[in-house]
């Protein structure tokens, strides 16, 4: 138990040491800070999805809907209401999270392939609306006309508009708060019921756990965190497009989670590093980069069924 405790703290130390020093060592490897920001955003989306898949045992193929709604909510708020970065992030998180909460009420009694297919359908409805509503969302060309703005804290101003490093640390700070809340949720009694539902739903029901209510809450929480990632994605690009709502984005989130290790806390972060690095490197050489990402995904599933992080933890004996 003591060794397991030390191992978890070692993981935490390594993760945050790497994240906080990215602007110093990544350029030496040929990378750039915006790439690291992309990794953190996708890691947050995948870790949010992992609350549902990895820790509750419920598969959703439509999480791009809440990711994209978060992006559009943030962009539309900053474009038409006020150019406030923090309020934009809050607005995007609320739009995607509330949409997921309301939609979750309709599907909590569905299981397996039926649950997954209904989530795809909802995501594609959102994609179609964003694609066709040219006057409001920009249609296929996407939503433009907004940009991240400096944040004035009174004592000092954080210029995330001019400095990529400042924006990266802003994203990392929000990421830290989000994953800290996720860790608290998983350690709470509610988090234990999520694990109980994953392991044996019938037995959990016999124990008196209100299964549908807990699945709905897990789904809702996952959607709020995913929408938060979508809001940061809009600020990262100063742009929101319908592809962020498409089933392909949902597939990417699933792929990142599974490659990294869907039953581990930090696995999705490892998966995001691998996915984004492959995407950036291979796409610079060929337009068929998804073929190579797909091959990597197949290889990980075949040889490391617990994901990369799961494999590392197994070797470490934790």
On the question of pLDDT at 112 being above 80, the answer is no
Q: For residues 174-201, give the mean pLDDT.
A: 94
On the question of pLDDT at 3 being above 60, the answer is no
Q: Is residue 21 part of a domain?
A: no
In this structure, the number of other CB atoms found within 10 A of the CB of residue 161 comes to 16
Q: Determine which of 62-71, 145-154, 170-179, 234-243 has the lowest per-residue pLDDT on average.
A: 145-154
Q: Is residue 244 part of a domain?
A: yes
218 contacts 58 by C-beta, under 8 angstroms = yes
User: pLDDT at position 289, please?
Assistant: 80
User: pLDDT at position 4, please?
Assistant: 59
Q: For residues 54-78, give the mean pLDDT.
A: 93
Q: Mean pLDDT for the chain? A: 89
Q: Determine which of 8-12, 179-183, 270-274 has the lowest per-residue pLDDT on average.
A: 8-12
Q: Is residue 211 part of a domain?
A: yes
Q: Is residue 12 part of a domain?
A: no
Mean pLDDT comparison of 104-113, 150-159, 203-212, 267-276, highest-scoring range: 267-276
Q: How far is CA 7 from CA 3, 13, 93, 185, 318, in A?
A: 6, 10, 33, 21, 7
On the question of pLDDT at 2 being above 50, the answer is no
46 contacts 273 by C-beta, under 8 angstroms = no
- What DSSP string describes the chain? -HHHHHHHHHHHHHHHHHHHTHHHHTGGGT--HHHHHHHHHHHHHHHHHHHHHHHH----S-THHHHHHHHHHHHHHHHHT---HHHHHHHHHHHHHHHHHHHHHHHTT--HHHHHHHHHHHHHHHHHHHHH-HHHH-GGG-B-S-----EE-SS-EE-TTT-HHHHHHHHHHHHHHHHHHHHHHHHSHHHHHHHHHHH-HHHHHHTT--HHHHHHHHHHHHHHHHHHHHHHHHHHHT-B-GGGGSHHHHHHHHHHHHHH-TTSSSHHHHHHHHHHHHHHHHHTT-S-HHHHHHHHHHHHHHH-TTHHHHHHHHHHT-
Q: Which long-range contacts (CB under 8 A, 24 or more apart) does 186-193 make?
A: 186/51, 186/55, 186/265, 190/214, 190/217, 191/55
Q: For residues 229-242, give the mean pLDDT.
A: 94
Structure-block tokens of residue 296:
């990597």
Domain span including residue 161:
33-258
Structure-block tokens of residue 190:
């509610």
In this structure, the number of other CB atoms found within 10 A of the CB of residue 89 comes to 25
Q: Is residue 286 part of a domain?
A: no
On the question of pLDDT at 6 being above 70, the answer is no
pLDDT tens digit string along 265-292? Answer: 999 999 999 999 988 888 888 788 888 8
Q: For residues 125-129, give the mean pLDDT.
A: 92
**Percent over 90 (pLDDT), the chain:** 56
CA 131 to chain CA centroid, Å, is: 22
Task: Identify which has the larger pLDDT, 307 or 1.
Answer: 307
Q: Is residue 175 part of a domain?
A: yes
Q: Is residue 49 part of a domain?
A: yes
Split at pLDDT 50, 70, 90, the class of 100 is very high
What is the spatial distance between Cα 310 and Cα 318, in angstroms, rounded to a whole number?
Answer: 9
Residue 30's region, left for phi above 0, alpha for psi from -120 to 50, else beta, is left
Q: Determine which of 89-93, 125-129, 282-286 has the lowest per-residue pLDDT on average.
A: 282-286
Q: Is residue 100 part of a domain?
A: yes
Split at pLDDT 50, 70, 90, the class of 16 is very high
Q: Determine which of 80-94, 169-183, 300-314 has the lowest per-residue pLDDT on average.
A: 300-314
Domain count of the chain?
1
């Amino acid at each position: 138990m003591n060794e397991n405790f030390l191992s978890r703290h070692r993981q935490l130390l390594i993760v945050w040491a790497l994240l906080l020093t990215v602007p110093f060592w990544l350029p030496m490897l040929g990378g750039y800070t915006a790439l690291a920001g992309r990794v953190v955003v996708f890691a947050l989306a995948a870790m949010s999805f992992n609350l549902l898949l990895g820790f509750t045992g419920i598969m959703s193929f439509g999480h791009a809907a809440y990711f994209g709604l978060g992006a559009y909510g943030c962009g539309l708020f900053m474009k038409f209401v006020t150019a406030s970065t923090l309020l934009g992030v809050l607005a995007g998180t609320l739009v995607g999270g509330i949409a997921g909460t309301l939609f979750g009420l309709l599907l909590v009694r569905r299981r397996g392939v039926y649950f997954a297919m209904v989530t795809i359908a909802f995501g594609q409805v959102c994609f179609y609306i964003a694609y066709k509503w040219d006057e409001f969302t920009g249609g296929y060309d996407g939503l433009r006309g907004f940009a991240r703005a400096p944040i004035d804290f009174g004592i000092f101003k954080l210029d995330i508009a001019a400095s990529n490093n400042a924006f990266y640390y802003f994203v990392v700070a929000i990421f830290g708060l989000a994953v800290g809340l996720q860790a608290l949720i998983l350690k709470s009694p509610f988090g234990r019921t999520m694990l109980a539902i994953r392991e044996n739903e019938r037995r959990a029901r016999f124990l008196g756990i209100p299964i549908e209510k807990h699945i709905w809450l897990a789904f809702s929480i996952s959607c709020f965190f995913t929408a938060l990632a979508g809001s940061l994605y809009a600020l990262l690009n100063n742009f929101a497009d319908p592809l962020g709502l498409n089933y392909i984005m949902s597939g990417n989130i699933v792929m990142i989670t599974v490659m990294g290790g869907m039953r581990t806390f930090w696995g999705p972060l490892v998966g995001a590093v691998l996915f984004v690095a492959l995407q950036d490197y291979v796409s610079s050489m060929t337009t068929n980069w998804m073929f190579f990402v797909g091959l990597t995904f197949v290889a990980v599933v075949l040889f490391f069924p617990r994901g990369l992080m799961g494999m590392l933890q197994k070797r470490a004996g934790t």
